[in-house]
Structure 1
Amino acid sequence: APVQIFEPRRSFILVGASTVAGSLIPLVPFIFVGGDVVTGAITSVIVSGIALFLIGWYAAKTTVGSLWRSGLQMAVIGLFAGLLGFLIGHFIGTNPV
């Protein structure tokens, strides 16, 4: 099938906007808690977990699958990836907290 000229641009804009929005989710809580890094980190984990759950829930709603299972699966995998990144940074000598 022929590729429409606007499809790559549309995909580029959608993926780019999604990446920026997704990257801002864990950062926004730090703006509201001020200089308290521990409170910001805890709030960021909670907000990120909720956002990941909602993304998984929406994915199951628009395709096929259990809403709760998909939401929990997305949240657990995403939070585990964040924890793994934190631990790797901690063990190579970069301790943000």
Structure 2
Amino acid sequence: MKDLSVRIFNTLFIKLRLTSGKKFENIGEAMNRIDKLNSDIQITSKKKIISMRNHVIHGYAKIDDGIIWGAIVRHLPILKKESRCHTQLQIS
């Protein structure tokens, strides 16, 4: 039973890792396009987001799971808040 639990955990962890990597690719690509269209838009850690995308997509080096998790926990909430603010400014 314990072996089954470990295998299920490992499978779920790998899926989460792959999914989060793909999401960072998408976010980084969108950030890169925004930066090219209007570099005056202020987004915290814009260059770091684009850099992380490049590392994920090109596989420069294995990205530590702690770095991915840290970005999810610390940086995505800020990005979400900033993007909502910019979206509201565009609509107004």
Does TM, normalized by the shorter one, top 0.5? no
TM-score range, shorter chain: 0.3 to 0.5
Q: Which has the higher contact order (CA 8 A, sep 6+)?
A: 2
Normalised TM-score (structure 2): 0.36
TM-score (structure 1 length as normaliser):
0.35
